[in-house]
Amino acid sequence: MERTFFIQLSILLSVSAESNQSAQFANSWKRIAALLNGVANIGMVELGEVQVAAYLSERKPMGRFFFRNGLPSVVAFPSGCKTSDCLTRFEGELSVDAVIDWFAMAVLNLPRIFYYSKESLGPRFLAKSSPHKVKVIFFSKTGERATPAIRQAARDYWNYATFACVLWREEEFSVWWNTFGVESAPAVVFLKDPGLKPLVYHGSVNDSWFLDVLEQNKQQELPQLRSLTSEELGCDARGYSRAGRDTLTWYCAILAGRLGPELDSMRETMRRVQETLSKSSELKAASEDEHSITAAVALKSKRLTLSWLDGETQKNYCFFYLNIESSYETCGPRRVPTDVPRLFIIRYERNATEDTFKVDKKAKSIWEFHQQEVDPAAQLSVTYNVSAEVSRIIQWMSNIIEDGDSRKLPFYRVKTPELVPEDAEPFWSRGPQGLLSKSMGTKQKIQRTIIRIYDYLGDPRIGPALLLGALMSFGSIWLMRTQQNRSVQSSQPSQADNGDKLKPRERCRERNASKRNLPPSITDFEPKDSYQMPLSDSD
């Protein structure tokens, strides 16, 4: 599988005698470089290279270069990063596991593969995993986290497989031997169809080897018909057969049912049918039963596909083909305690003349509109209602294929219901715009803001600057209050003068009214018979 170089990872190491931590971390860095080989470009910069060291270091408000956590310092550059503003710094404890986990989670946005014990593996991993996915279990003696290459494989194959890790202990040998057939660690186990023997690989895991094995075992032995695999299996009326675009007729045998022991038993029967047809296709036609030859040849030429369908999840698709009274025993949510899996085969036929000659015309009515929305390939389905024997099923499939290839059947086209996606898109698969990257970005922004505030508080210029700001604020407040007081004092006399100045008419009226209404007083006039009393000298 093609690998992509995501980032260039650089580390600064001091080789001076004063930095013992750099010398101690040298062996760990070699281990990190080996684990990141093929995923990132690895580099090392010595402190003596002043220009590069100054470019990768942090800068205080006064312009002095420094490394916040000392040396060595790990710095990651994402793809397309050309300035020091977009780099990511490692802030945790310097260890192989911590650096690898930080690199995979914070930089590459890769999922984490969790460890499970013998008690939690069954209920928390096997029971909660999707039934259509292959289970991949890593057994490790050291308990190290999965490498970025394996995490990237878990992200690329999340539609097909789910991953788990188990710490190997000698006292638990009997449990893992009886359950999966694992006798030592390291080892990798692939769990595919229910009832199928696990596939075990012992020894250390090479990234390229693991990707090849995963590509070969990403599907179950009897593949499931899903929205993701419908075109790949050829069970899609909108596409073409696996045999090629020139094939006009092909077939798809589907086992539908709800998840349970009944469906598991029939899936095992269909696996035997597929295995028998695969072996029959390798032998000569004269040495085999004539009833199985037709189906075996169709399977070898990829005109026949065997698969199974989750009738509960894909209820619309299931009811569309099993349109019988007892189809509720197979399709839709469970209503009765008994489940009845059913096998049916679909014959697809493509019209070659319609692909070469197409006429575009506008829909004049609702009936013509629906006629244009039908699938390009015609479909005819037949349900199997005989015993669940391998030979009988093969004979029935061969008869259906013979009739479909030889007889002139009606060309019936219809709109097939859409297959529902079984799994929602995980949050870590959304790339840089996903939930994980947003939360990590927000966390980094908050941390950077706090660090900048802390750096500014340690700047010796911050004290005089704050004092000057305080003086300026107090001076502005005093100036504003002074201007307000002056405006109030200047407004009061003007209001009094305006009140004292009256109009001439109002002034005359007030004067006349005062003369008329005042009572007589001794000070107003002097009577005629009045005289001045003389005062004594003593007074």
The predicted-structure confidence for 250-282, as pLDDT tens digits, reads as follows 999 999 999 999 999 999 999 999 999 988 755
> DSSP letters along 48-101, please?
T-HHHHHHHSEE-TTS-EE-TT-SSEEEEEETT--SGGG-EE--S---HHHHHH
- CATH (residue range 115-217): 3.40.30.10
pLDDT at 10 over 50: no
Residue 400, burial from CB neighbour count under 10 angstroms (0-12, 13-18, 19+): buried
The listed CATH number (3.40.1440.10, 3.40.30.10, 3.40.630.30, 3.20.20.150) that belongs to domain 10-107: 3.40.30.10
What pLDDT shows up at residue 439?
A: 38
Domains 10-107 and 115-217 share a fold: yes
Out of 267-276, 398-407, 447-456, least confident range:
447-456
Residue 163, burial from CB neighbour count under 10 angstroms (0-12, 13-18, 19+): buried
What pLDDT shows up at residue 534?
A: 65
* 115-116 and 161-167 beta bridge pairing: parallel
Q: In which band, very low, low, confident or very high, does the pLDDT at 30 lie, cut at 50, 70 and 90?
A: confident
Average pLDDT over residues 306-312: 93
Domain assignments of the chain as residue spans, ordered by start: 10-107, 115-217, 227-355+373-406
pLDDT single digits (tens) 54-113? 666 666 655 565 556 657 777 777 777 776 667 777 777 788 888 888 888 878 888 889
Residue predicted with more confidence, 217 or 239: 217
Q: Residue 300 phi/psi, 5° resolution? A: -70, -40
Confirm if 347 and 407 have CB atoms less than 8 A apart.
no
pLDDT single digits (tens) 274-296? 999 988 755 544 445 566 788 99
pLDDT at 19 over 90: no
Percent of the chain clearing pLDDT 70 (strictly above): 68
What pLDDT shows up at residue 525?
A: 57
What CATH architecture does domain 227-355+373-406 belong to? 3-Layer(aba) Sandwich (3.40)
In this prediction the pTM is: 0.70
